[in-house]
Amino acid sequence: SYYLVPKCVRLGYCDEDKSCGRMPKKEEFLKGTESFMISFDYLTLKAFFEENKDFFTGARLQKIQQPTRRDFVLSFRGFESRKLYINIDPQVFHICFLSDKTYDRRNITIPKKPPMFCMLLRKYLEGFRVIEVKVPQYERIFEIYFESYNELNEKIKLCLAIELMGK
């Protein structure tokens, strides 16, 4: 009897009479929603890269935060300040820039004591300048290359590779 009920009623997105028996079109389902997840593949990552590579090049990494085990917020300062949100959850992996509005909507709370991995990233990357960003061809990997000086005043280069893979 479960399958006799229309899918739109079972999933709860039918605004019409519950006995309609028809499937709503995708446009009707998405109408009124402010945001939804799309498939985050190589083409999406490449478009994000192409759109933002000018911002990243020359920007300085100011702050690294890790709200949860699988979320990271990196604050960059270039010709403007932006927060890069990285989510490495296997079901909803993605990267994006956060505005103040979306930061509040995600209910991000930063723990008082940062996790060890966050402290490690801070030790090696905080304050470094981005010299290059890359997306290897046909891969869901976003590479950010940093440059700075160590304690001996030697120039060093480091790479933060963000691999966006599901299960």
- pLDDT in the model for residue 19: 47
Structure token pair of residue 80 = 């403007």
Tokens 């479960």 -> residue: 2
Biggest alpha carbon–alpha carbon distance for the chain: 74
Confidence of residue 30 (pLDDT cuts 50, 70, 90): very low
- Averaged pLDDT score across all residues of the chain: 80
Name the H helices within the chain.
Answer: 7-10, 26-30, 42-56, 100-105, 116-125
- pLDDT in the model for residue 37: 54
> Among 2-11, 85-94, 105-114, 141-150, which stretch is predicted with the lowest mean pLDDT?
2-11
Separation of alpha carbons 56 and 49, rounded Å: 9
pTM for the whole structure:
0.73
Nearest to 135 by CA among 71, 63, 41: 41
Q: What is the pLDDT of residues 73-126, one digit of tens each?
A: 999 998 899 999 999 888 888 898 988 787 777 778 888 999 999 999 999 999
Residue 1 has pLDDT above 50, yes or no: no
